[in-house]
Amino acid sequence: MQQTQDLVWEERFLANMLVIFCGRQMIHHPVHRLLVISVHVFLTLFIWKFFWWHSI
């Protein structure tokens, strides 16, 4: 359980870094910001699916 929690926090950290970096690069492009948010959501869902399959 602890390992899972650590991986989730690591994924969130990486995703947040991606959002911050891309947000600063493309702050004037709302479409790109939406794209970054979509990528963040996709990564989160992908990680949770990965854990789901491994927990079965």
Q: How far apart are CA 56 and CA 53, in angstroms?
A: 6
Dihedral sign for Cα 16, 18, 23, 24, please: positive
- What domain range is 49 assigned to? 2-55
pLDDT in tens, 40-52: 889 888 888 887 7
CB atoms inside a 10 Å sphere around CB 44: 14
pLDDT in tens, 1-56: 566 677 777 778 877 877 777 666 655 566 777 777 888 889 888 888 887 777 76
Instruction: List the structure tokens of 53.
Output: 């399959």
Number of domains in the chain: 1
Predicted local distance difference test score (pLDDT) of residue 17: 78
